[in-house]
Chains A and B, each alone.
Chain A
């Protein structure tokens, strides 16, 4: 069965420091992979996605992620974190279910940014 694992429940990073959020997936075929960010009072916002092609994908707000098939990973990175990046981050994989398509989410990683 398809699944997504985000090993880190909570991460604290100093403002200006680099960030890496881990995501591992389990999926039989070539996966469609996503990173979403959730801020209080706001809906999930898509940061970036991987469907095919270049394994290093660029997203909004300076985020990037790298798809590594051999490691079944899709880690999210940012070279310099800003205080406004503090939020909940979800990795997701696209899957096929009885209704057609669905997103399977990891449990999320809470990012705190210290000054």
Chain B
């Protein structure tokens, strides 16, 4: 089946630094990938849609200069949290759509970001 991986699974960084999270589709190609943010006991909120070879589309209220998304290849999308603050601490999840329907998505295991 379609597998999506994320790296790292857990990262701690200091305030003001930047951290990069990778999302890879392991056995299929993904021209589109989605990035979600999940707060404890909360729902998944779509942050942006990553498109291979073009700019990402950000949801309303998401700071594109803070959350840099790069879809470098058909199997890799990265999310860089720049100048991280403690309020950026969260669980970040990526997904890629299936071949039958873009609504049916395969999710990565998520990355826990803690900013100290």
Contact = CB atoms under 8 A, between A and B. Distances in A.
| Interface residues of chain B: helix, strand, loop or mixed (majority) | strand
Contact of B43 (A34, A41, A105): A105
A1 B83 CA distance: 33
User: Of B42, B49, B51, which is in contact with the most chain A CB atoms at under 10 Å from its CB?
Assistant: B49
B13 interface: no
B2 to A, nearest CB: 10
A105 B49 CA distance: 16
A94 B103 contact: yes
Interface residues of B, number: 28
A32 B43 contact: no
Contacts of A46: 104, 106
Nearest to B6: A43
Interface stretch (A14-22, A66-74, A75-83, A95-103): A95-103
A26 B34 CA distance: 22
Given A41-B109, A90-B43, A110-B41, 19 more contacts: A32-B101, A34-B104, A42-B109, A43-B106, A43-B110, A44-B107, A46-B106, A98-B57, A99-B48, A99-B51, A100-B102, A101-B97, A101-B103, A102-B49, A103-B34, A103-B103, A104-B46, A106-B43, A108-B42
17 contacts: A32-B101, A36-B107, A42-B109, A43-B106, A43-B107, A45-B107, A46-B106, A49-B104, A98-B57, A99-B49, A102-B34, A103-B44, A103-B46, A103-B105, A107-B41, A107-B42, A108-B43
Q: Lowest 5 A-B CB distances belong to which pairs?
A: A94-B103, A99-B49, A99-B57, A43-B107, A44-B107
Interface of B: 4, 9, 32, 34, 41-46, 48-49, 51, 57, 59, 93, 95, 97, 101-110
